[in-house]
Chains A and B, each alone.
Chain A
Amino acid sequence: DGGITQSPKYLFRKEGQNVTLSCEQNLNHDAMYWYRQDPGQGLRLIYYSQIVNDFQKGDIAEGYSVSREKKESFPLTVTSAQKNPTAFYLCASSMRDGSYEQYFGPGTRLTVT
C-alpha cells in the first residue's frame, strides 16, 4: 500500500539533546513537508522540499533542520536550540502539479523533559 510512514510514534528526549524524526513516502511525490501541531493552533509549517537536495524554511524553522537526499525521505532534526520542542509533528507529501493535495503521515509525538 502506498503511503507515508513516520517513526517512532512516541519519542522522549532530555532537554539539550538533538533528535531526528523519520518520514518516508512511497507515493512518488516530489514535494514533502513538516508541520508542528500544538493544541488550538492548527498546523504550522516548519520546512518543505519541492525536489531532492532542495528545501525551504517555513513559518517556524528556527531550531529545526532537514535534509532531502532521496525523493522518498525527508528527516527532521529537532535541535537543542528549539526552545519548546514538545509537540506533535506531522509529515506530508504532495505532487507538484494539480491541486497540491497533501497526504499526511500518522505523526510523531515528541516529549522533551
Chain B
Amino acid sequence: AQSVTQLGSHVSVSEGALVLLRCNYSSSVPPYLFWYVQYPNQGLQLLLKYTTGATLVKGINGFEAEFKKSETSFHLTKPSAHMSDAAEYFCAVSDRDDYKLSFGAGTTVTVRA
C-alpha cells in the first residue's frame, strides 16, 4: 500500500500570500495523484489530479500542483490566498492498477486578514 506524507498539519498564511502544501508519496512507480479539499463538516471535493502527461496540473479555485517523479512529490500551490481557502486539504494517491486511495493526514489552512 502507498504511504502518503503531508508535511505540516497546520499552515497559516496571510490573505494574498502564497499557499504551499507539501505532499510526498512512497511508490517508485508513478501513481495517480490527487488533492482534495474539505470544509468543516462536509465531504471532500476534488481540487485537481495527475494521471499522465503534463506534470503541472491546474485545478479549481486557482490551485495547481506539480508532479516531480525524482522527488516523489506532488506539492499544491496557490499564488494568492483568499479567506475562502481556509479548509483542510488532503493529498491522496492510488496505484495504477488499484481502485483504492491512500490519504495523507491532512493539512489545515488558516488565512489571516
Contacts and interface: CB of A to CB of B under 8 A. Distances in A.
A4 B43 CA distance: 10
A42 B43 contact: no
Q: Is the interface of B mostly helix, strand, loop or mixed?
A: loop
A106 B32 contact: no
Interface string B74-97: 000000000000000010001000
B43 A104 contact: yes
B9 A40 contact: yes
B104 interface: yes
A19 interface: no
Given A48-B99, A99-B49, A104 B44 contact: yes
Q: Which of the four size classes fits the interface of chain A?
A: 20 to 34
A92 B44 CA distance: 9
A41 B49 CA distance: 22
A42 B90 contact: yes
11 contacts: A40-B105, A42-B103, A48-B99, A48-B100, A50-B99, A58-B100, A88-B41, A94-B99, A101-B34, A101-B46, A106-B43
Interface of B: 1, 9, 32, 34, 36, 41-46, 49, 51, 90, 94, 98-101, 103-106
